[in-house]
Amino acid sequence: WIRGLGAPMANPNEHAEGMMGEHAEKEYADFEARVKRTIYIDHLSPVVTRQVIRAALSQCAHVVSVEFVENYTIPYDIPAAALVELDDESQARSAVDLMRDFPFIIGGMPRPVRASLARPEMFPDRPSPPGSKMEFLWLKQGDPEYDGMSKLKSLAKRQEAENMALIKNILEEEKELAAQQQIMLDANYYKYDLLENIVQNGTVKNLAGHYRVNLFDG
């Protein structure tokens, strides 16, 4: 406090800290609201795009945004999971229930995707909770926590190797599936093209006239 002839004046630093605190609380409240209306989807095909996810979910919800979750443990820039923000929490819960109750295929993946309600730790841009503090500590050999961190590091390396093997297997499955789908698309295109040519060159009318069939009955 600053003494003067009039009433005591508040410290401007305290006022600024109070304003910053209010801003942080509002920012985190908005973030929590976004988390509640967002769903997490994994088991995605590596070829899935934002447009494909929007189209797939349009039957049950309105998609506000799609953000792919990066996997920093592999050298491939491919999507495996995504955070999908919807209009509200009700749509988010309905979408998760739908994908849990029924096989939900996105982008031709041979297995259904998995869905769950998002959690704050899934967001790379999450703000810090108001009043929280972060402390960092460098560990060296002989510290009590050193052995535990060494085990975690070894576990992370083993998980990275397992992820690499899994990703390579998924990419091979995707390549084979894409080839099968292309064969089916080509076959269907050939059938429709053949039917269209038959109709356009008058073959159908000639056959109908020969067998005295009225094409316009019924």
- Band (3; pLDDT cuts 50, 70, 90): very low
Q: 158 and 85, same structural domain?
A: no
- Number of neighbours of residue 210 by Cβ within 10 angstroms: 8
Give the count of domains, the chain.
Answer: 2
The separation between CA 110 and the C-alpha centre of its own chain, rounded to angstroms, equals 18
pLDDT number for residue 116: 95
* Tens of pLDDT, residues 157-215: 888 788 778 777 777 777 777 777 778 878 888 888 887 777 777 676 777 777 777 76
Assigned domain for 49 exists: yes
pLDDT number for residue 59: 83
pLDDT number for residue 35: 97
Q: 156 and 110, same structural domain?
A: no
Assigned domain for 41 exists: yes
Q: 96 and 170, same structural domain?
A: no
pLDDT exceeds cutoff 70 at 141: yes
- Band (12; pLDDT cuts 50, 70, 90): low
Place of tokens 């923000």: 85
Q: 99 and 177, same structural domain?
A: no
Q: How far is CA 25 from CA 17, 18, 29, in A?
A: 12, 11, 6
Please indicate, yes or no, whether the overall pTM of this predicted structure exceeds 0.75. Answer: no
Q: 22 and 114, same structural domain?
A: yes
Assigned domain for 11 exists: no
Both tokens assigned to 149: 């961190």
- Band (4; pLDDT cuts 50, 70, 90): very low
Assigned domain for 38 exists: yes
The residue segments making up the domain with residue 182 are 145-203
- Across 118-122, 147-151, 173-177, 199-203, which has the greatest mean pLDDT? 118-122
18-22, 23-27, 63-67, 145-149 — which is least confidently predicted?
18-22
Q: Residue 145: which residues within 8 A CB-CB, separation 6 or more?
A: 139
Which H or E run contains 27? Answer: helix 12-36
Evaluate whether 46 touches 171 at the Cβ level (below 8 Å): yes
* Tens of pLDDT, residues 168-177: 777 777 777 7
What average pLDDT score do residues 4-19 get? 55
Evaluate whether 8 touches 2 at the Cβ level (below 8 Å): yes
